[in-house]
A and B are shown apart, each in its own frame.
Chain A
Amino acid sequence: MSFLQPGLLLALPMIALPVIIHLINRHRHRTVSWAAMMFLLDAKKMTRGMAKLRQWIILLMRMLAVAGLIFALSRPLTGLWFGSVAGGATDTTIILLDRSASMEQQNLQTGLSKRATALNKLSEILEKTNSGTRVVLIESANLDPMELNLKDDLTSLPQTGPTSTSTDIPALLERGIEYIEANQSGRTDVWLCTDMRANDWDAVSGRWESVRSRASLLKGLRLFLLSYPDKADENLSVRLNRVRQDSSPTQAQLLIDATLHRESISMEPIEVPIGFIINGTRSTHTVMMEGSEFNLQGHAIPIDSKLEKGWGRIVLPSDSNPQDNAHHFVFANPSIQKTVIVSDDPSFAAPVSLVANAPMDRLLQYEVDRVPTADANRIDWESTAMLLWQGVIPKGVLAQQIVNLVNSGRSVIFFPPKSPSNNEIFGHGWDKWSKKTNNMEQPGTWRTDAGLFANTQDGKALPVGNLSIYRHCGIVGTGNILAHLESGKPLLTQAPTTRGGAWFCGTLPQATHSSLAREGVVLYVMLHRAIMNGSRALGMARQITTGKGALDSTTGWTPLGQEQDAFILNREFHAGAYRNTDSQQLVALNLPEGEETPGVVVEEQVEVLLDGIEYQRIDDQAGSLKSLASEIWRIFLLLTSLALVIEAILCLPEKKPTQQILKPS
Chain B
Amino acid sequence: MADSRQRDFLEPAVLAKLLGRPLHARVPMLGNVSGRHRSPIRGSSLEFAEYRKYVPGDDLRRLDWRAWGRSDRHYIKEFEADTNLRLCFVIDTSGSMNQRPEGGLTKLDYAQRIAGSLAYIAAQQGDAVGLYCAGKQFHKEIPPKRSSAHLSMVLDSIGEMEAKGETGLPEALHEAAEKIPQRALFVIISDLFMQPSLLKDSFQHLRFRGHDVAVFHLLEDEELNFEFKRPTRFLDLEGGASVLADPTLIAPQYHKALKKYVKEVDEIVRDASVDYHRVRIQEPYEEAVARFLIRRTPKKGGK
Contact = CB atoms under 8 A, between A and B. Distances in A.
Contacts of A665: 266-267, 269-270, 276
A35 B237 contact: yes
Contacts of B178: none
Given A29-B230, A29-B231, A662 B256 contact: no
A37 B249 contact: no
A61 to B, nearest CB: 14
A663 B224 CA distance: 12
Interface residues of B, number: 54
A38 B250 contact: no
A65 B242 CA distance: 35
Nearest to A654: B252
B223 A51 contact: no
B95 to A, nearest CB: 8
Contacts of B230: 25, 28-30
B254 A43 contact: yes
Contacts of B233: 29-32
Contacts, number: 142
Contacts of A46: 250, 253, 256-257
Contacts of B256: 43, 46
A40 interface: yes
B232 A29 contact: yes
Contacts of B232: 29-32
Contact of B234 (A37, A654, A658): A37
A55 B270 CA distance: 39
A146 B15 CA distance: 104
Interface string B199-224: 00000000000000000000111011
B261 interface: yes
Contact of A32 (B234, B248, B257): B234
B250 A47 contact: yes
A105 B250 CA distance: 68
A657 B230 CA distance: 20
A661 interface: yes
Given A44-B245, A656-B225, A33 B99 contact: yes
Contacts of A396: none
B266 A43 contact: no
B162 interface: no
Contacts of B98: 33, 35
B278 interface: yes
A165 B26 CA distance: 115
Interface in B42-62: none
B240 A37 contact: yes
Contacts of A663: 278
B255 interface: yes
B259 interface: yes
Contact of B235 (A34, A39, A55): A34
A55 B225 contact: no
A265 interface: no
Contact of A43 (B97, B228, B253, B267): B253
A89 B230 CA distance: 44
A656 B259 CA distance: 11
A662 B280 contact: yes
A32 B223 CA distance: 12
B243 interface: yes
B277 to A, nearest CB: 7
A664 B266 contact: yes
B236 A34 contact: yes
B251 interface: yes
Given A34-B237, A35-B96, A665-B270, A29 B250 contact: no
A285 interface: no
Contact of B261 (A29, A34, A39, A47): A39
30 contacts: A26-B231, A26-B246, A28-B231, A30-B228, A31-B232, A31-B234, A34-B235, A34-B236, A35-B96, A35-B98, A35-B99, A35-B191, A35-B237, A37-B238, A38-B194, A38-B257, A38-B261, A39-B257, A43-B250, A46-B250, A46-B253, A47-B253, A654-B252, A656-B255, A657-B255, A661-B219, A661-B258, A661-B259, A662-B219, A664-B266
Interface of B: 95-99, 107, 191, 193-195, 219-221, 223-225, 228, 230-238, 240, 242-246, 248-259, 261-262, 266-267, 269-270, 276-278, 280
